[in-house]
Structure 1
Amino acid sequence: MTSRHAAHGGERIVVAGGGTAGHIEPAMNLADAIRRLEPAAVITAIGSTKGLDTTLIPARGYPLELVPPVPLPRRPGRDLLATPARVRAAVAAAGEILDRVRAEVVVGFGGYVAVPAYLAAKRRNLPIVVHEANAKPGLANRSAARLTKHVFTASARAALPHATAIGIPLRPDISQLDRPALRGEARARFGLDADRPTLLVTGGSQGARTINWAASGAAAGLRAAGIQVLHVIGPKNVLNVPAEPGAPPYVVVPYVEQMKYAYAAADFVLCRCGAMTCAELSAVGLPAAYVPYPVGNGEQRFNAEPIVAAGGGLLLDDADLTPDWVLANVVPRITDAAVLEAMSRAAAHAGSRDADVVLARHVLNVVAEYRHLTGGKP
């Protein structure tokens, strides 16, 4: 593989990875990086009406083509019996899209949308690039990694054939964030005091009940320790922490549109450990107490473990998170400048800031190689 990306422009690239923000955001961040390197590249996203695809992808300015969703059932039953027919329909729809846009590569990020795109690309002998965000790969990418040598992961712990660990593609406003430079503006933006230790609490885009309960239950103790809180509860959740005149602020918001401001305002984070959350916090050097989502295949714990092992965070089960735990474990760290600095350095050391550009260059190289082998033209 040449180290230079394609020089002709007009690369026709399809990205597939829908359903959740954890699949969509890396795909869109890659697309942005490709556009910065090759403004003439034509990028199409494949998604479905199930999940956040129709909300997040058009908002980023990319055309969205829809295929029928094919979530793989976990248990035997009618859904399992119907799966082969659904897969065939989705593969046919994905193939029609690839033919119509004259795709030169499919870049998949896992999830049920990626499966038909991978299979349709394979049938057309199109190159496939796989990116796996989780340390514990999902079924779609475990299967796709056998179809290609172009496999990239967020973590070196992800056991996939041919894998190269590069991190997760992030937005430049996160990956290049200068937290100290933005701190004053960010805290003023949320009505926080300029100089107090600041805890950011977030359960992800939808919030997390256990985290909301534990943090709000610790509000009095946090205030007594001089700690202010920015608490992102999730758009469908309700939480009331009354203001106390003269006490450190406890600011509750349903959602933060630009997370760079929340990260810049914070000294420490209490959060879930989805792949994007772990990647963003380590990239900006924010220490955190990570609380894995207790449902699923346990991939969230795997995402946080390397950061915690490096000294950049704490890890505890959802069942063990209580207001008392927050006071006993977060307060001593966020109020000790030396400890906080050491954890910040460790978190940053575990992170990656340039995965978007690394992956974009590789995708462009794959297109250049494909054109060379097939005699294709831009």
Structure 2
Amino acid sequence: MSEPEARPTSGPQGRSLSVVLAGGGSAGHTSPLIATAEELRRQAPEAQLTAIGTERGLETTVIPAAGLPLELIPPVPMPRRPGLDLIKVPVRLNRAISAAADVLRSKQASVLLGFGGYVSTPAYLAARRLGLPIVIHEGNIVPGLANKLAARFTDHVYTSFPATPLPHAQCIGLPLRRAITELDRAGRRDDARKEFDLAPDQPTLLVSGGSQGAASINRAVIESVDDLLRAGIQVLHALGPKNVTAETVRRTDPDTGAVYAPLAYVERMELAYAAADLMLGRCGANTVMETSAIGLPAVYVPYPVGNGEQRRNAAGVVEAGGGELLEDADCTPEWARARIPELILDPERLTRMSAASRDVGRTDAAADLAARTLEVAQSWA
């Protein structure tokens, strides 16, 4: 990926550029936000960057860890049932909009860049109230409510998937960190396996159900892992912080040397990808785009509740032959014992899947979105 040129850090009137980014609640919103912030720093090193979040989201840990200033606004929970909490929503929303407006004013924002999630709705409404330009990125193929709303306020609408139904949408892919897009899986494999204390020469399955884990995936692997280890397949298993139990202990098969390495959470996902030959996991947009960008074959298990967006996220990679789709109800120990060895012990099949996956993946979205955001900011500042 070519290095983008550094961009001017002030607008036509000489005001310093200030980009406020909104997105939180889950890695699906925070990961592309952080990836784009990294590119904004590269292209406009002196521009001021600030993120907006709430105290309830993943952003309270991952955004400060990325070196990005974080301003918190009150959360606006949306009740699922009628009642007193529903009546309180307008008051809570107004309070959150006012707090977001205070951040935008205090940071002298040149543009608001939003990635969706609950925190984005008040941020979008605050920017509209102040007359600030808005840029939005929708990571999933099915847009969330916040970005559906914001797409009515701006022409600067960017998506990960070409079929995402938003007005003015342009598909640029999903912003990914350079630690992912520049990953040399083969070159980093030995170091990555050493990092997780895995055997260097065993076929390795990476299992992850997202930041909180997935019950069906965890159960299928935990109940089949002894059989996988006996087959010489080692497992790096990100269970989710609440799912670590007495059953989920590290162990090594005495005959094959294959290791079961359970973790609550993987801080450096690029190393987990480098260690793996195959992944079993959910198919949120981040997982699909990251695995396809680096050519990691995967079995995707769509989240069975909701609007079906995860199934559609994975459709392009699966159709290209870079992955397989497995229904949540079919993700069982019996399936794992039978199918995982068929896939992971077939190097030619994995090579074909890897090449097909890479053909679908895109790696330049973060730089592209950063450049487009700076153009909007410069025209307004």
TM-score range, shorter chain: over 0.9
> Which secondary structure does the structure 1 equivalent of 2:366 belong to?
helix
**Contact in 2 for aligned 1:45/1:65 (Cα 8 Å):** yes
Distance 1:68 1:184 in 2: 45
- 1:187 lines up with 2:193 in the alignment: yes
The equivalent residue for 1:243 is 252
Corresponding position: 1:330 with 2:355:
no
Aligned residues of 1:210 and 1:318 also touching (Cα < 8 A) = yes
Match in the other structure for 2:13: none
Q: Is the 8 A contact 2:6 2:43 kept in 1?
A: no
Q: Over residues 310-362 of structure 1, what are the superposed CA-to-partner deviations in whole Å (9 max), with x where a residue is unaligned?
A: 11111122111111212332221211111111111111112111111010000
Q: Does 1:286 align with 2:296?
A: yes
Give 1:7's aligned residue.
8
**Residue 379 of structure 2: which of 344, 366, 369 is its match?**
369
Counterpart for residue 355 of structure 2: 345
Identity of aligned residues (%): 52
Q: Give the deviation of 1:300 after TM superposition.
A: 1.8
Count of residues in correspondence between the two structures? 369
Partner of 1:25: 31
* TM-score w.r.t. length of structure 1: 0.93
1:248-285: CA deviation from partner (whole Å, max 9, x where unpaired): 22222222221111111101001111221112111111
Secondary structure at 1:155 match in 2 = coil
Cα deviation, residue 205, structure 1: 1.7
Map 1:1-378; keep pairs closer than 5 Å.
6-9=7-10, 10-237=16-243, 238=245, 239-240=248-249, 242-247=251-256, 248-371=258-381
Aligned residue type for 1:261: L
Give me the TM-score of the superposition, normalised by structure 2: 0.92
2:318 is aligned with what amino acid? V
Describe the SS at the equivalent of 1:126: coil
The structure 1 segments of at least 4 consecutive aligned residues displaced by more than 4 Å after TM superposition are 3-6
CA distance in 2, matches of 1:136, 1:76: 25
Give the secondary-structure state (helix, strand or coil) at the position aligned to 2:274. helix
Q: What amino acid sits opposite 1:362 in the alignment?
A: R
Paired residue secondary structure (2:324): strand
- What SS does structure 1 have at the residue aligned with 2:82? coil
**Alpha-carbon distance, 1:6 to partner:** 5.0
Rounded to whole Å, the distance in 1 between the matches of 2:213 and 2:140 is: 20
- The answer to whether the 8 A contact 1:5-1:364 is kept is no
Query: 1:241–1:213: structure 2 CA closer, same or farther, 3 Å change rule?
Result: farther
Instruction: State the secondary structure of the residue aligned to 1:330.
Output: helix
Out of 320-329 and 131-140, give the one that drifted further.
320-329
